[in-house]
Amino acid sequence: MAADATIEAQRHTVGYWVGLLLLLLGAAFLAGVLHHTSRHYSHVSSVIWQLPVDAAWSIMRMLLAYLLSLAFALIVGIYAAGRPRSARFIIPILDILQSVPIVTFFPAALAVAVNLMGGGTFGMNVAAIFLVFTGMAWNMAFSVYESLRSIPRDIRECAEALGIRGTQRLLTITIPSCVPGLLYNSILSWTAGWFALTACEILTVGNKSTSLPGLGSFIANANNSANPFVMGLVGVAALLSVVVGIEIFIWRPLGVWAQRFRYEMTVSTMSRDSALLRWYQQGRFPRFLSRVLVVSLNRLSNAVFTRVRGSSLRMILPRREAPGYAARAVAVAVRLAGWALAAAVVVGGIYYGWTTIRGHYSPLTGYIPLAIGLSFLRIAVAYLLSLLWTVPLVLWAYRKPRVFRGLSSVSQVLASLPAISLTFLVINIFVIHLHLGHFWGVEIAGEILLMNGVQWYVLFNMLGGLSRLPGDLIEVCDAMGLSRWKKFRSLLAPAIMPSLLTGTVTAFGGGWNTLVFSEAIQYAGHQYNVMGIGWLLDVASGSASPGHYAPPLSSHQQGALLLMGVGALMVFIVVFNRFVWRRLQAWASDRFRIEY
Amino acid sequence: MLMKLDNVSKIYQTDGPPATVLADISLEINSNEFVCIVGPSGSGKSTTLRLINGLMPPSVGRVYFKDKPMAGINLQCAMVFQNFALLPWLTVTQNITLGLEARNIPRADAMKKAALYIDKVGLDGFEGAYPRELSGGMKQRVGLARALAIEPELLLMDEPFSALDPLTSINLREELLDIWADPNLAVSTVVMVTHNIEEAVELADRVVLVAGRPGRIVADIEIAIPRPRNKNADAFTRYVDSVFSLMAEC
């Protein structure tokens, strides 16, 4: 009976929290609109009618960028996994691209790209899609590479022994093996994509700003509209409903479908996927719609699996033969050409950089080291504050499956909210209502925005780490009657250490990306700036003022500042990753890995 | 003679000093023979099996199949794996027809063959099931059917019963012998790797003992007991004891 009751209760949980969330949003939305209607009724309602169109535009851009990323990830990941020698170059390059906060020079890159394509909305759309792509692709390529590297040895041998090669191998083994990892990373990529979208649907060059119709530009424009609070609220509500909708109608059915692509190797007691499956089997309303997707995906994959054919007619399959002289000469020539091209790019880049920088120093150039230091400090504080609330929460929730599941979903949704979309809230609270003054008010408001870019990664990864914790270890601790503190020290803390570190690295990455929004806030015609690399880069791209630090910069000075700021930041981040994070991660995975 | 390993050694190039796993292995396998390779773990039994299949080339020496030196993967072999090596996203039938499709056998024929071997291993009714819905014993039946379906001249088995519970493995061993003895089925020659000496003596015509580091062939014993074999008979226990004592000496 008790078991039946829990199942009955679980049947409704997902529906409950989704419903609750929608209800709250709806209420907030209505309140905002009602508050507003007395004065600007016509304006708000016209904006609301415009929103679905904006959302559709943004989703289209995201989808195109995502499809590009998917193709890129599969091609590069499969290529690298099959060629260890190439992988030695490809993997570090991907790693650097992944750790560099591309959002920081979005505006500048966007301006260049749009000019290259002769201006106009077409060029801007292409540039926006490409920039969203740069926020989505790298982790997906990594995931393909990792998935292929971890195909169990006996499966690889079995495929070889059966003579499965070429297209048959690609469609029946290679791509299916990537599905679970790709799905998880696709969700992360979409989160990153929403973030990028807010930066690239709006372009400011000098005093002129152009924007594409979309949710991103809506949110960015909201802060400078006549009634930023209501517009901000409307923007957040619209984005949240899109994100929740995609989660329910796309990611969850895909998650159910992806179940069949997992190799059975670990036995976990409380995996996200079993919860997902249960949700799928027991949910009511969403199940009906998502079932269509699952069923058609299953049909499609079965059709592929039964129709794909091999062509191994010879009875002894030769290993790859040693290439002839001609082939070897071609390979050497290709490699030399590649090196020459790389050298040309590097030399050209240095020359271009030198001519951009030379003679265009501004008083702000000297502030770059200080700015990076201050920004790093802000991220570190945001990170520690995040730990302060996420660690106790996770420890409280880890044995409550329903809470746990709810937390994962909610954090995933909230992580999709770009910092800029919360500007209206923090500025209203800390600067306008609490009168904390320009210094403390802006500093705290910025810190809260920064936390939004940091905390969800910490939470995600800890939840993930705990869900992979073997149940028998928890049982052993219970059976020995360990106190809470003892259990935390001897089991939970070490067990979550590797995933906490992964979370830390991604959190700092998220932090660097958020800085351009949190250190130079524009709200209702005011600018709230603090000294830091984010602000400096905003000054360099012309979207923030240099304030009392320097007179307005010439466009040459801006270019020089941008190049030097981004360059210094990249060097700092890459060196820090290499010498701090990489070592800590290696240590943690070596020391705290759970193996059977 | 079907297979021959001629003075074969296998050396792995690792980061440290090269590790020799197998040294000077010479082994002949005749048609219609059931050969078991036994030995302690790490002695290179599985490596020997992979050399026979052509999954890896020998570092020294040559491998011959029907008197021709092998230069790649031998598609006339089929392998059964310890942990089944089933693709979780394919149904029982799809897993079994995988090798047939690789050989470009027409779909209708492939389905017919799959149905035949599904019946032979006793999986009727599970054609559309996914591996994760099956018990360990049933998974290994799929692995066996997949190998049999390509009608190999040589069936290779890498500890096929060691991941199964004792009762299941007893049943599967008996069925394997029935399939091997069935004149209507193509498979006639079997090489099986196991660390279970009793299992080897129960099944094999010849037991080859590989031991030491690097692994060498220590003994090659003909099991001259008529089938069906009684595990409690004196002759049976004598064979088991002699292999045990040989293994203990190494």
B104:A172 CB<8 A? no
Helix segments in A436-492, DSSP class H: 442-467, 471-479, 484-487
CA–CA separation, B143 vs A162, rounded Å? Answer: 12
Mean pLDDT of A126-132: 86
Strands B60-65 and B68-69: antiparallel
Q: Which candidate in B81, B98, B100 is best for mutational testing of the A interface (most A CBs within 10 A)? A: B98
Q: Report ipTM (2 d.p.).
A: 0.90
Distance of residue A388 Cα from the nearest chain B Cα, in angstroms: 41
In this model, does residue A373 exceed pLDDT 80? yes
Nearest CA in chain A to B153: A315
Q: What is the pLDDT of residue B112?
A: 93
Distance of residue B106 Cα from the nearest chain A Cα, in angstroms: 9
Confidence of residue A411 (pLDDT cuts 50, 70, 90): confident
CA–CA separation, A362 vs A360, rounded Å? Answer: 6
Distance of residue B121 Cα from the nearest chain A Cα, in angstroms: 19
Strands B60-65 and B3-12: antiparallel
Mean pLDDT of B16-27: 88
Report chain A residues whose CB lies below 8 A from the CB of B78. 161-162
Mean pLDDT of A112-120: 69
Nearest to A163 among B73, B130, B131 (CB): B73
Q: What is the pLDDT of residue A279?
A: 53
In this model, does residue A49 exceed pLDDT 80? no
CA–CA separation, A549 vs A552, rounded Å? Answer: 9
> In this structure, are residues B39 and B247 in contact, taking their beta carbons and an 8 Å threshold?
yes
Distance of residue A256 Cα from the nearest chain B Cα, in angstroms: 13
CA–CA separation, A196 vs A194, rounded Å? Answer: 5
Report chain B residues whose CB lies below 8 A from the CB of A260. 88-89, 130, 132
Give the pTM. Answer: 0.82
CA–CA separation, B22 vs B52, rounded Å? Answer: 13
Report chain A residues whose CB lies below 8 A from the CB of B103. 163, 310, 312-313
CA–CA separation, A57 vs A197, rounded Å? Answer: 11
Q: What is the pLDDT of residues B181-222, one digit of tens each?
A: 888 877 889 999 999 999 999 999 999 999 988 899 999 999
Residue B135 sits at the chain A interface (C-beta within 8 Å): no
In this model, does residue A1 exceed pLDDT 50? no
Q: How many CB pairs under 8 A join A and B?
A: 105
